[in-house]
Amino acid sequence: MPTPLHAPLASISRLRPLAVTLLMLAAIPVAAADRDRLDAFLEVTGFGVALDSIALSAADAPKMLGMSASDFGSDWARTAEEVFDTEEMRATALDILAQTLSQEDLTHAATFYASDLGQRLVEAENASHMVEDTEAKERKGRALVADMVEQGSDRLGILKRLNAAVDASDTSVRAVQEIQIRFLLAASAAGVTERRLDEGMLRAMMEENRDELRLRMKKSALANAAYTYRGFSDADLESYAEALEHPRMKRVYELMNAVQYEIMARRFEMLAARMAEMHPGQEL
């Protein structure tokens, strides 16, 4: 599934056979086997890989403090891996989804993603999600966008429809800023930084920079979409846009986005506490 956070995201080669997945989603009562149905949902939609890709965002933590991973010593990689444990993050997502995702919306989204087009999209999205060199990916995407602009291609409008559909309420900017705020405050409270941060001032600064961030994220999202869907026809992407604009799919995406944002925020707060154990405080 595409994500408005556009975190670096790799293809997953262990998807269940589609017939088995669809049978599971359709036949198992939610109350009796939430976990089995939701596990199948994570696989068939690709949301599980999107959750796994959150681990790649750990590299951004030192940068937000004006530092680098090397400042935290040889244990940094191990600590980041422990905090951003993919099994734990998936378990948290399943806990939330079991209480919030309706059977009707689950089945609607899973049915689309289990189709031939849906599975080709999931494969491409999974591969894009796990690309670690995000700068190279964005450069390639920007070049594709530039070509579309030069040619006056209708494809550009389709890609914008896709991005608008998965973030219909324009919540991604506020979510990214909230994750940053929670991390910085946690790092300050834990003593990772020598200077204590004032939450009010931090929020005011974020508010002042929100429009600039929104523009950067829209450009990045467009480049990401151009790269991710470069192998699809305009007709395929039109069909995808229509599917994403369905009310049930919109509800699913609002929930998926909220789950992903909350998991990221919690993990960054946990990482801040661990960072304080690894290195003495530094000026922010």
Q: Please give the pLDDT value at position 279.
A: 57
Q: Please give the pLDDT value at position 27.
A: 42
Of 28, 49, 52, the residue nearest 38 (C-alpha): 28
Q: Which residues of 81-95 are buried (b: 16+ CB within 10 A; e: fewer)?
A: eebbeeeebbebbbe
Query: 3-class SS at 282?
Result: strand
What is the DSSP secondary structure assignment for residue 193, as one 8-state letter?
Answer: B
Of 209, 121, 213, the residue nearest 165 (C-alpha): 121
Phi, psi of 282 (to 5 degrees): -130, 155
Q: Please give the pLDDT value at position 259.
A: 94
Go through the chain and tell me how many residues it has. 284
Instruction: Give the separation between CA 284 and CA 270, rounded to whole angstroms.
Output: 19
| Amino acid letter, 166 | V
Cβ neighbours of residue 265 closer than 8 Å, sequence gap 6 or more: 178, 179, 182, 183
Of 207, 217, 192, the residue nearest 271 (C-alpha): 192
What is the DSSP secondary structure assignment for residue 9, as one 8-state letter?
Answer: -
Three-class secondary structure assignment of 263-275: HHHHHHHHHHHHH
End-to-end CA distance of the chain: 36
Cβ neighbours of residue 284 closer than 8 Å, sequence gap 6 or more: 65, 66, 184, 188, 193, 194, 195, 197
Q: Please give the pLDDT value at position 106.
A: 94
What is the DSSP secondary structure assignment for residue 59, as one 8-state letter?
Answer: G
The answer to whether 49 touches 12, Cβ cutoff 8 Å, is: yes
Strand partners, 282: 193
Tens digit of pLDDT at every position of the chain (284 positions): 565 443 332 222 223 333 333 334 444 444 434 788 899 999 999 999 999 999 999 988 999 988 888 888 888 989 999 999 999 999 999 999 999 999 999 999 999 999 999 999 999 999 999 888 888 999 999 999 999 999 999 999 999 999 999 986 678 899 999 999 999 999 999 999 888 899 999 999 999 999 999 999 999 999 999 999 999 999 999 999 999 999 999 999 999 999 999 999 999 999 999 998 885 444 44
| Amino acid letter, 208 | E
Of 52, 16, 36, 22, the residue nearest 263 (C-alpha): 52
Q: Please give the pLDDT value at position 169.
A: 67
- pTM of model > 0.75: yes
| Amino acid letter, 246 | H
Cβ neighbours of residue 87 closer than 8 Å, sequence gap 6 or more: none
